[in-house]
Amino acid sequence: MRKIYMDYNATTPVRPEVLEAMLPFYTEHFGNPSSVHWAGRAVKGAIENAREQVATLINCSPAEIVFTSCGSEGDNFALKGTVDALKEKGNHIITTTVEHPAVLETCEYLEKQGCEVTYLPVDRDGMLDLQELEAAITDKTILISVMWANNETGNIFPIEEIGAIARKYKVRFHTDAVQVVGRIPVDMQKANVDLAVISGHKLGAPKGVGAIFVRRGTRMTQFMHGGHQERHRRAGTHNVAGIVGLGKACEIAQQTMELDAPRVRRLRDKLEKGIMEAIPEVKLNGHPDKRLPNTLNVSFAYIEGESILLNFDMKGIAASSGSACTSGSLEPSHVMCAMCVDIVLAHSSTRFSLGPDNTEEDVDYILQELPPIVQRLRDMSPLFNNDARMSCNQCRVVRRA
Ligand SMILES: *Cc1c(COP(=O)(O)O)cnc(C)c1O
């Protein structure tokens, strides 16, 4: 059976060149980078090389990169490390209702520890009102945390503008940059961010490695206590092979992004247009333009996203409903809810997230398989066959006879 992977926002395959760069660090280069002897020294150099590769991709100094075990760790570190370091100054955090659970659930934990958190709403396109953000800042605000791009809709937030607001009020600014790094150009200097989180497995490096940009001079309480690795910011013997892989993936992204991004966008746009033309009553979730080039999130009225996915799976197509972290639960995604997507449509939200390995034929195959699946599921759906069709004008449901 044909296999098509369109779930790059959940994870990506390790690039072959990345694996190749990593392998020696499981065998001949086995040293502990903290050791002073030859075995350690050989490995220490590789870590510093990877640090430079990551720093180059996001335009910062290598000294501002701290390696972590994953994106979730980075978000935990950014929030908890800030709250702990700045508790004399205040206890108020501003974030959004559409963040990844790594931010949202950390905020909920911090609320129990005495923090106050403002969760900014989004509009029906999933975008923020920056005036509302600015108005939420008080003299107790210590941190603004807004993701660079949303994993479910692909929406890109105006990070430079938010960074300028944070600067104006001298509030620290953290961004979960997991979905943008390696996909679109990002520049830590222009963005005015103080903390930015990266995850290896979202850009062609392996799972279990990540990094966080910590702007020079940003006071943070150490997240992992123990050894003196990572300038005392993160204890624990380095995941050497993983770090080498992350560095290599960043180097490759730097070289290929310029060509990959428009190619992926063209495929995504073809898929989007094809779906809208072939299937009635489909709604685009997210902003039509301010969106990652690889992400398409659509709702097929009257049917469940989960049943689409199961039918897709039988045809070898891997896509996603909501985020990977919440699928399996029957709750509609918190992102769809935050965007006021009608509950029935929220349940049918389906995400296609493309990557550099996808082809024109992949898109053609999906456009061939999807309409009959949707038709069959709608024929079985009591909602679809009800005379009183759901009406939700505000949600921009595309209706065709
Ligand atoms: C995947 C993802 C994370 C979590 O990264 P892990 O490395 O899987 O822990 C955090 N934020 C966003 C936006 C993500 O897409």
What average pLDDT does this structure show over 125-150? 98
- Is position 140 within any domain? yes
Flag whether 390 is in a domain. no
Same domain, 119 and 67: yes
The pLDDT tens digits for 206-241 are 999 999 999 999 999 998 999 999 999 999 999 999
Report yes or no on 87 lying in a domain.
yes
Q: What are phi and psi of 389, to 5 degrees?
A: -60, 140
Which pLDDT band holds residue 400 (cuts at 50, 70, 90)? very low
Q: State the distance from the centre of ligand 1 to the C-alpha of 30, rounded, in angstroms.
A: 28
**Span from the CA of 293 to the centroid of ligand 1 (angstroms):** 18
- Active-site pick, 60, 70, 115, 325: 325
Domain end point (choices 225, 253, 281): 253
Cα 126 to Cα 224: distance, rounded to the nearest angstrom = 34
In a domain, residue 80? The reply is yes
pLDDT, tens digit (0-9, with 9 covering 90-100), for 43-85: 999 999 999 999 999 999 999 999 999 999 999 999 999 999 9
Is 394 within the bounds of a domain? no
The DSSP annotation for 306-369 comes to HHHHHHHHHTTEE-BSS-TTTBTBSSPPHHHHHTT--HHHHHTEEEEE--TT--HHHHHHHHHH
- Main-chain dihedrals φ then ψ at residue 81, nearest 5 degrees: -65, -30
- Do 291 and 319 fall into the same domain? yes
**Is 178 touching ligand 1 by the criterion CB < 6 Å?**
yes
Cα–Cα distance measured from residue 138 to residue 169, given in angstroms and rounded to the nearest whole number: 9
Residues paired with residue 283 on neighbouring β-strands, in sequence order: 299
Contact 85, 220 (CB under 8 A): yes
- Mapping DSSP onto H, E and C, the string for 215-276 reads CCCCCCCCCCCCCCCHHHCCCCCCCHHHHHHHHHHHHHHHHHHHHHHHHHHHHHHHHHHHHH
269 shares a domain with 222: no
Q: Are 234 and 222 in contact (CB under 8 A)?
A: yes
CATH classification of the domain holding 373: 3.90.1150.10
Q: Is the CB of 71 under 6 A from ligand 1?
A: yes
Q: Are residues 240 and 275 in the same domain?
A: no
Helix axes 360-380, 305-314, angle to 10 degrees: 130
Same domain assignment for residues 160 and 200: yes
**What distance in Å separates the CA atoms of residue 119 and residue 30, rounded to the nearest whole number?**
45
214-221 long-range contacts, Cβ below 8 Å, gap at least 24?
Answer: 214/64, 214/65, 214/66, 215/60, 215/64, 215/188, 216/61, 216/63, 216/64, 218/172, 218/194, 219/85, 219/86, 220/77, 220/81, 220/82, 220/84, 220/85, 221/80, 221/81, 221/84, 221/85
Same domain membership, residue 286 and residue 235: no
Domain assignment present for residue 290? The answer is yes
From 222, 253, 284, the end of a domain falls on 253
At 397 the pLDDT is: 39
The range of the structural domain enclosing residue 101 comes to 16-253
Atom in ligand 1 nearest the alpha carbon of residue 99: 13
- pTM: predicted TM-score of the whole model, two decimal places: 0.94
Q: Note whether 136 and 194 are same-domain residues.
A: yes
Q: How confident is the model at residue 188 (pLDDT cuts 50, 70, 90)?
A: very high
Whether ligand 1 lies within 6 angstroms of the CB of 176 is answered as yes
Quote the pLDDT of residue 328: 54
Q: Which of 239, 257, 251, 190 is nearest to 52 (CA)?
A: 251
In a domain, 214, yes or no: yes
Section 366-380 average pLDDT: 95
Instruction: Specify the ligand 1 atom closest to the Cα of 73.
Output: 9
Answer with the one of 253, 272, 287 that is the final residue of a domain. Answer: 253
Same domain? For 173 and 296 the reply is no
Asked if 212 and 246 touch (Cβ cutoff 8 Å), the reply is: no
pLDDT bracket for residue 341 (50, 70, 90):
confident
**What is the rounded distance in angstroms from the CA atom of residue 71 to the CA atom of residue 69?**
7
Residue 144 CA from chain centroid, whole number: 17
247 plus 269 within the same structural domain: no
**Range 301-325 burial, b when 16+ CB lie within 10 A, else e:** bbbbbbbbbebbeebebebbbbbee
Is residue 354 scored above 50 in pLDDT?
yes
Q: Over pLDDT 90: what percentage of the chain?
A: 86
**pLDDT tens, position by position, 264-310:** 999 999 999 999 999 999 999 999 999 999 999 999 999 988 899 99
- Domain contains 385: no
Report the atom number in ligand 1 closest to the C-alpha of 199.
Answer: 7
* Structural domain count, the chain: 2
Ligand 1 atom with least separation from CA of 210:
7
CATH of the domain at 174: 3.40.640.10
**Interval between CA 341 and ligand 1 midpoint (Å):** 23
The Å distance, Cα 250 to ligand 1 centre, comes to: 17
- Domain match, 116 and 226 both: yes
325 or 145: which carries more pLDDT confidence?
A: 145
Catalytic site residue 325? yes
Q: What's the token pair of residue 352?
A: 């296609």
| Weakest-pLDDT range from 93-102, 176-185, 243-252, 306-315 | 306-315
* Largest separation between any pair of C-alpha atoms in the chain: 77
